Amino acid sequence: MQILRKLVVTALAAAMLLAIGVTSATARSLRINERNFEVIWNTALGTPKTKLRFAAAGRPAVECQVTLLGRMRENTIVKEINRDQGTINHGELESCTNGTATIKTESFPWTVRYDRFTGRLPRIAGIDVTIISAKFRIREPGNLECEIRTEGSRPAGGIIGNSAEVAETGLELNGEPENVTAERGDRIPLGGEGLLCLIAGEGSLSGIGLIRNLPRTTKPRITLI
């Protein structure tokens, strides 16, 4: 009888561990506590925050303070690539160096899509998202103007949480990310009437911003479900 009891207990424990492992490995969705969010690139927020940088090959980067306001469609983010999860609906841009820039407001709303996560479940170190339909007009010294615009096949990428550019443990430890890093490696098409825009062909966005819920009083909380 004692042997049977031990076997039953062992089997139940194994079943519980298997269930926990399956739940952690196959969790299909993420849950956010607040659908409205704000992302701010501004050096006044302190290290490691930066301005948002707009760069074309061989050209000095134009750096600006940028604030973007967005909203997720639902509190649940389904982990499916190329699925529309939210929108960027408003943006403000100011205090540029090495030139000026403007947000083409007629391009709103921009589309936010989930791309992938990094880390090992149940801990998530970073969440990669892509932004589609974003459009900026960049003017360098000498009045050279180029337009940088993201498309479905050439989106702008962002990393919520840990990135190669800045280590941040908030998302991994307690589900509350602090940073959003614009992906330096993404190549985005350039447009414009100037010959140099055509020669450069593509540009990139980079920089480390702050992410907060709206109103800007709490950090977003992201959990697996």
Least confident of 117-131, 161-175, 181-195: 181-195
pLDDT score of 63? 97
Mean local confidence (pLDDT), 184-201: 74
Which has more confidence, 10 or 111? Answer: 111
Angle at 115 between CA 114 and CA 117, to 5 degrees: 100
Residues forming beta bridges with residue 111, ordered by sequence position: 87, 132
Whether residue 166 contacts residue 179, with contact meaning beta carbons closer than 8 Å, is answered with: yes
What percent of the chain has pLDDT above 70? 85
- Which of residues 17 and 58 earns the better pLDDT score? 58
Asked if 183 and 159 touch (Cβ cutoff 8 Å), the reply is: yes
Q: Residue 225, Cβ neighbours under 10 Å: how many?
A: 11
Q: What is the mean pLDDT of residues 35-52?
A: 96
> 200: pLDDT confidence band, cut at 50, 70 and 90?
low
| pLDDT, average across residues 17-34 | 61
Tell me the CA distances in angstroms from 70 to 20, 144, 153, 163, one per residue in order. Answer: 34, 30, 22, 21
pLDDT of residue 85: 96
In this prediction, residue 202 carries a pLDDT of 85
Helix (H) or strand (E) holding 5: helix 2-26
Determine which of 15-24, 55-64, 80-89, 181-190 has the lowest per-residue pLDDT on average: 15-24
Sequence ranges of the domains in the chain? 30-224
What does the alpha-carbon distance between residue 195 and residue 199 come to, in Å, rounded to a whole number?
6
Q: Map residue 155 onto helix, strand or coil.
A: coil
pTM of this prediction? 0.84
Q: Under 8 Å CB-to-CB from 4, ≥6 apart: which residues?
A: none
